Amino acid sequence: MSEDMSDIDYLKVMEYSLDPLIIHTDYRIMYVNGAAEEFFRTDKDGVVGQSPLDIFKESSKDAIRKRIQSAYGKPADVIEETVYRTDGSTVEVELYCHPLMIGDTQAIQTYVHDIMEKKEREKQQTEMVAEINELSAVLVPLLDDIAVLPIVGKIDEEKARLLLEIIPAKVREQNVNHVIIDFSGVYTLNHYVTDALFKITSVLALLGVRSIITGLRPEMAMSTINKNIDLSSIPTLATVKDALAYMHVNVQS
């Protein structure tokens, strides 16, 4: 049985695509698929015949116009852009386009991929790294070989992992032999916190650095008991001042 690829219904193929697709020529939209209708919050009748430049900011239109012209000859590189929906809202997207023949008409097919979630994840990652870097930067030296590490805010899995990467290196860099890990800025002791705590103190112990915990709130201490978390191997005291006294450091009142 012979298979004739020319029998493929290309518009039907486009409709199966989960990504918005736009076919346009001479700055005039010829067709959009259902995913594009949903994404741009419009319908085919509302966009067919319109210019594809209309979805872009004024500051981007000249570059997009040149990009469209070059795409008649060869596929254009993937770029990131901000586009408008018909309701005026904006979305960050990746765009890819390539030449396409529609009968005797030379056209361009543009793929639109929503990257808002990706950008949000990147933003969260950047903010988290900034928090960790700030945290590691405030490994506060008290004496020649004693430093305080204040743990603040919410600790999740990624933040715990970054702490484990950064803190031991910071401790070695500062030639610290004793680290007071102060939890007075933490209000919830979840399994990420406890796991990070044990891993950090274990790594520090291998480096010859002794850890002391301070600042566990009464409810957090009760939580460790209820969760069968054993802190008996790590000295645990109420305040940084108590920790210094435990190490026989003379603290002036």
In a domain, 252, yes or no: no
| Beta strands at 178-185 and 210-214: parallel, antiparallel or unpaired | parallel
Query: Which pLDDT value is given to residue 216?
Result: 82
Do 89 and 128 belong to one domain?
Answer: no
Boundary of a domain, candidates 114, 129, 153: 114
* pLDDT over 90, % of the chain: 48
Map tokens 């802190």 to a residue: 231
Judge whether 113 and 97 are in contact, CB under 8 Å: no
Query: Which pLDDT value is given to residue 92?
Result: 95
Domain that includes residue 156, residue range: 120-246
What's the domain count of the chain? 2
Do 45 and 70 belong to one domain?
Answer: yes
Do 173 and 233 belong to one domain?
Answer: yes
Q: What are 81-123's pLDDT values in tens digits?
A: 999 999 999 999 999 999 999 889 999 999 999 999 999 988 8
Mean pLDDT across 40-64: 94
Boundary of a domain, candidates 64, 97, 114: 114
Of 10-19, 147-156, 184-193, the range with the lowest mean pLDDT is: 184-193
**Residue 23 sits in a domain of what CATH number?**
3.30.450.20
Buried b (16+ CB within 10 A) or exposed e, 164-178: eebbbebbeeeebeb
The CA distance from 184 to 155, in Å, is 13
Judge whether 205 and 173 are in contact, CB under 8 Å: no
Top-ranked range on mean pLDDT: pick from 137-141, 213-217, 238-242: 238-242
Do 126 and 107 belong to one domain?
Answer: no
In a domain, 139, yes or no: yes
Calculate the CA dihedral of residues 212, 172, 184, 198 and round it to 10 degrees. -60
In a domain, 251, yes or no: no
Q: What are 130-179's pLDDT values in tens digits?
A: 766 665 556 788 887 899 988 877 777 777 777 788 888 888 888 899 99
Map tokens 């291998």 to a residue: 206
Do 82 and 164 belong to one domain?
Answer: no
Do 74 and 170 belong to one domain?
Answer: no
